[in-house]
Structure 1
Amino acid sequence: MDTQSLHLEERFKRIYLENKDRLYHFVKRYTKDPLIVEDLVQECFIKVWDNLPSLKDDAMIYPLLRTYVYRIVVNHNQKEARRLLRDAAFNEKQPLSVSFEEDLLFKDGWRSFHEVINTLPEKRRKIFLLKQQHGYTHQEIADQLKVSVKAIEKHLSLANQVLREKFVADKLVVVLILLSMQAEFM
């Protein structure tokens, strides 16, 4: 093994050991299944390994790792939500219906979602619905409401924060509702 490869391997081990636990706990906020958390963290470190030669400042690597792993979590959750929607669409075509409890759970989640959205300040609610229901870009919303893109981003961030706080136990319900809202209006 050449010196450069050895150096990269040692560097990677150090980055891994210094950050794996923090990343694990970060991902655990979004996914409760420990096996999935481990897979997503591992996927993040694979990305780090692939990009290691171009990464410069190891002392400031954690924010980059969080960005990597957050994108990986979002992609995972989107794939899982699409899979669940496909399964739901398939099951909808089957003669057996969804159980009464599952139907109530979804309807209750939908109702709770609307109640939370309706508690948002009017402008924030309007921005959130333009983004989620109509699929407008940040720029399109900013142009329509005559505010800055930064203001739009801030409102969306605050709206999403409220949703995360209200739906901590069942984030998948929120993802499914948001995806179904987008599908309805496309």
Structure 2
Amino acid sequence: MNIQIAIKGLKDGDEKAFKFLFDQYYNRLVAYITTYTHDKMSSEDIVQQSFIDLWNNKEKLDENKSLKSYLYAIAYNRFIDSVNKDKRQNHLLELVYENALRDIINEDNEALEKRIKKMNQIIESLPPKCRETLEMNKIKGYKYKEIAEIMGVSIKTVESQMSLAFKKIRKGFGKENIQVLFINFYRILKFN
């Protein structure tokens, strides 16, 4: 069988003619499309779909025109369609990802706001000297020795006040990750 006879057979619905043309062009088309996709499996999918298109439009074949050019054009158009589809899917995935991130950020901001409010309530409930000691250390950045000198108390008293403050904070936040809480401690107190 030659190409011209196979084209005539294909137009009449001859499956053997179709198989002959498939065998003649399949590997060359896969190689051609792979130069664009750089992925043999997706190239094979595109070429297989191109042959399905050829079969579905067999009645429209012009025996006087090059079947090779026609097949290459179908395969190339299929490749372009797949690129556009991937772009649409990627764009959709990016939108979903952005929305998810935005939700996470909003949740984090809401959680931080709740922590700030809770921290402020706990700090306000501390005895005045304990609250003052905590604020001098965590907000103003004074060391225990400096706080002791300013307040006219011993370093042990400052340590005791800080220990009391942290116990109340730990108790107030219960099972929340206390390490994360103390990492954000300065940020939380800063909003006080």
Instruction: Please tell me whether Structure 1 or Structure 2 has the larger radius of gyration of its CA atoms.
Output: 2
TM-score (norm 2): 0.44
Greater relative CO (CA pairs within 8 A, separation 6+): 1
TM-score (norm 1): 0.45
